[in-house]
Structure 1
Amino acid sequence: MSLIILAHPTYDKSFANKIIIEELKNSNSDIEIRNIHELYPDYNIDVKAEQQALLRHKTIVFQYPFYWYNMPAILKHWFDVVFEYQFAYGSQGDKLKGKNFLPSFTVGSSQDSYTPLGFQHFRVYEFCKPLEQTAYHSQMNYIEPMYFYGTSLTAGYAKEEIKTNAKQHAEKIIQQIQELEKDGVLDIEVI
């Protein structure tokens, strides 16, 4: 069973992430989707509810737009309060041990811009090191991030191409989850 932590501060205006989530909802995968910005618009996260959600699942997918070379603020806050001492780390903090940690995000800019000579100067994976360390520190299995470029409508990327890429991305997430889970198929629960 898999958990999607959706962290998009302007999900109602999203294009690519909304398509990804709709494709996941319409799949036959055993997925729970938690839209944390909708659940906690005031950032007052129910730590125990989020920890219980994590405990119910084997694979956790973090779905979000790549904001300023990082995750949106609500997801960072979510990690700060949910991955607490003696839950995610510490002498008794092994509650997430062995679970799969899969970052999945959309990148507004082009792939060419994320090169040493490109506009962004660094490759996307270089910005993912804190995620990787968070997974390792909490004894989770870090799965290489899944992402695709050119998702910004305001930057002029074609709507149809973004839609096609978002659908393909959702399919890759489903395939990755199935590979990680190797279990039966149930209904999707949206909270």
Structure 2
Amino acid sequence: MALIILAHPTFDKSIASRTIIEELKNSNTDMELRNIHELYPDYKIDEKAEQEALLRHKTIVFQYPFYWYNMPAILKHWFDVVFEHQFAYGSQGDKLKGRNFVPSFTVGSSQSSYTALGFQHFRVYEFCKQLEQTAYHTQMNYIDPIYFYGTSLAAGYTEEEIKANAKQHAKKLIQKLAELG
């Protein structure tokens, strides 16, 4: 069974993330979904409840929108609180050892903007090094991120395009979860 940590501050307005989660729910994927914005609107994260959820699962998926080249603030805060010393790292902090760490996110801009010559100047995977290091530091198995571009209506993408791409994203994620068992 997989744990999905959903971190979208405006999930109810999101076309891409809502579609991905709907597809996951409608699949045969055995999963637990934790919408941390819904659980902790005040950002007062219950680290013990979150750690217990992590311990119940072999694969943890972090589902979020790619904001300002990073994760939303609540997910960063979640990591700061939940991945604590002697739980996630330290001399006795091996509780996450061997679990799968799967970043899954959406990117508003186009793929062409995330090139050395593009508007963003770097490729998306270059912004994921902190995720890889977090997995490494906590002895988790880092799985290459699953993501797609073009999720912003403001950037000229249509709702139909976004939904179609989100469904493809969900299909890749479901396949990866099946592979990971």
TM-score of the alignment, normalized to the shorter chain, above 0.5: yes
Residue aligning to 2:118: 118
Structure 1 residue 85, shift from structure 2 partner: 0.2
5+ long unaligned stretches in structure 2: none
Provide the C-alpha distance between the structure 2 equivalents of 1:14 and 1:121, rounded to a whole number of angstroms. Answer: 26
Structure 1 residue 8, shift from structure 2 partner: 0.2
Counterpart mapping for 1:1-191 below 5 A: 1-181=1-181
Structure 1 residue 12, shift from structure 2 partner: 1.1
When structure 1 is superposed on structure 2, of 148-157 and 87-96 the one drifting more is 148-157
Structure 1 residue 156, shift from structure 2 partner: 1.3
* 1:12 aligned counterpart, secondary structure: helix
Provide the C-alpha distance between the structure 1 equivalents of 2:27 and 2:53, rounded to a whole number of angstroms. Answer: 20
Provide the C-alpha distance between the structure 1 equivalents of 2:84 and 2:176, rounded to a whole number of angstroms. Answer: 27
- Residues 92-143 of structure 1, C-alpha deviations (whole Å, 9 max, x = no match): 0000000000000000000000001100000000000000000000000000
Provide the C-alpha distance between the structure 2 equivalents of 1:41 and 1:111, rounded to a whole number of angstroms. Answer: 32
- Residues 24-80 of structure 1, C-alpha deviations (whole Å, 9 max, x = no match): 011111110100000000000000000000000000000000000000000000000
Structure 1 residue 160, shift from structure 2 partner: 0.9
* 1:112 aligned counterpart, secondary structure: helix
Structure 1 residue 158, shift from structure 2 partner: 1.5
The alignment covers a number of residue pairs equal to 181
Residue aligning to 1:184: none
Any runs of at least 4 consecutive aligned residues in structure 1 with deviations exceeding 4 A, and if so which? none
Provide the C-alpha distance between the structure 1 equivalents of 2:152 and 2:48, rounded to a whole number of angstroms. Answer: 35
Provide the C-alpha distance between the structure 2 equivalents of 1:43 and 1:26, rounded to a whole number of angstroms. Answer: 29
- Taking only aligned residues, the RMSD between alpha carbons, in angstroms, comes to 0.5
Provide the C-alpha distance between the structure 2 equivalents of 1:177 and 1:44, rounded to a whole number of angstroms. Answer: 30
Provide the C-alpha distance between the structure 2 equivalents of 1:28 and 1:130, rounded to a whole number of angstroms. Answer: 31
Q: Percent identity?
A: 83
Which structure's residues are more often helix, by fraction? Answer: 2
